[in-house]
Amino acid sequence: MSKFSIYNTQSRDLQAVNVTGRPVHIYCCGPTVYRDAHVGNLRTFLLADLISRTLKLSGMEVLLVQNITDVGHMSEDFESEDKMLSQAKLEKVDPFEIARKYESKFHSDLARLNISPANSYPRASETIPGMLSSIQTLIENGSAYVSESGSVYFSAQSFPSYGAISGNRLDSLKPGHRYEYSDDGEKKFHADWALWKSAGNRSEMVWDSPWGRGFPGWHIECTAMSLDLLDSHVDIHVGGIDLRFPHHENERAQSNSIVGGEAVDLWVHGEHLLFEGRKMSKSANNVVLVEDLISKGLDPLSLRLALMENRYRSQMDLTWDSLRAANSTLNRWRSSMASWGNSETIGFDSEIHSSLLADLDTPRALLRLRAIEKDQLLTSVQKREIFNYADQVFALDLKRVVEVKPLTSEQSALLESRATARANKNWGESDRIRDLLALDGIIVSDNPEGQSWAWSN
């Protein structure tokens, strides 16, 4: 049987996952729980799920760890208050109450997208002892040093292969690069980074350490958790492309310096997600959450399908039109599944199988599924059983029964009015009517043949 291969950012080529005698160790960088995860964040978490499901489809076991960053230090500007404490002040609650609130919402969003739970979700706040142990090891082997204030820094120059993942060279890095502390006066070299930061005037979210009260640096969290929970070796490390540098570069330096070799076999990164042609941001007012899909009458799994229509390592521009189209496809497939009988047998399709094993080519696998849907040489039972097979990875709940109910006369009239508006190129009126229909749970999609509609559930 062919092995699962995926693109390794460090080696810049496809590499097969060669693990025998134990589960495949996967570590996925999780959320910083001070706000809701948006659809761009969820694309990365879906990537880890697709990898896990594909490995299981090929007969392998998986051990997946995904951290929860609930220590509020991750900020692009360390001269200002960090994000966790800032949100706690904004909502007038304890910072750990903020963390638990958004951690719970994170798990709810994963469930709505049929993203299988990880085997472990270690919280940074609960794994401080492991971080302190990792830092102590780095100090003892000469990879880190303690400053006069009690902060501890990793010595970037102690790690000769720094930059292997991102291509950044130490001699080219400028002082004060993104995500690093600005108090360069304590560093021996400007590219060094904090493993432990002295508390100073900070009184919340601080812990005791051999070097004084303080809090951990962002990068040491993932090193400590992954090495502890995955027996000091990660087969596949997953994260968004924005984490490639400096987070994963620094994490690799730390982890390798502790274990004395390559701690990670494959570094896998999901590309950026745009929405309606722009990067999602609060300032652009285009941050899209799972709740936003639900409010528009869309099945959250329409997001899962829409994301799989693009390769994970290609930049993607998600739109409301593509989400509505995905929702219509889901309803059509579920209706077809019901018409094809009730077989629970898991079939097989070699093209879907090989597409998934070859660097998660989900677009090609979905094209094949559409071809099977229309194939007149296959029986209804065969189609259903192949759809059952594909849904082990796609996880679109294709066996869910679609509620069929008649349109009211008012709804039929609205659909006719919308078709007329589109024919007259009155796009504003067309969109207005579409939004009215969405409030009734009717999702309208447009195609070259005209408009089509489906109930959202």
Residue numbering of the annotated binding site for Zn(2+): 29, 222, 247, 251
Residue numbering of the annotated binding site: 29, 222, 247, 251, 282
| Residues 177-180: contacts with CB under 8 Å, at least 24 apart | 177/246, 178/76, 178/246, 179/74, 179/75, 179/76, 179/218, 179/246, 179/247, 180/78, 180/246
d(CA 365, CA 281): 32
Among residues 280, 293, 361, the alpha carbon closest in space to that of 327 is found at 293
The secondary structure of residue 245, as a DSSP letter, is I
What are the distances in angstroms from CA 111 to CA 94, 227, 387, 391, 409?
A: 26, 27, 21, 16, 36
**What 3-state class would DSSP assign to 367?**
helix
Residue 454: in which H helix or E strand, if any? strand 450-455
Residue numbering of the annotated binding site for ATP: 282
Among residues 167, 156, 241, 157, the alpha carbon closest in space to that of 11 is found at 167
CA atoms within 13 A on the CB side of 31: 25
Q: Give the burial class of 90: count Cβ atoms within 10 A of its Cβ; 0-12 exposed, 13-18 middle, 19 or more buried.
A: exposed
DSSP class per residue in 129-161:
HHHHHHHHHHHHTTSEEE-TTS-EEE-GGG-TT
What are the distances in angstroms from CA 145 to CA 32, 129, 283?
A: 27, 18, 39
d(CA 71, CA 229): 19
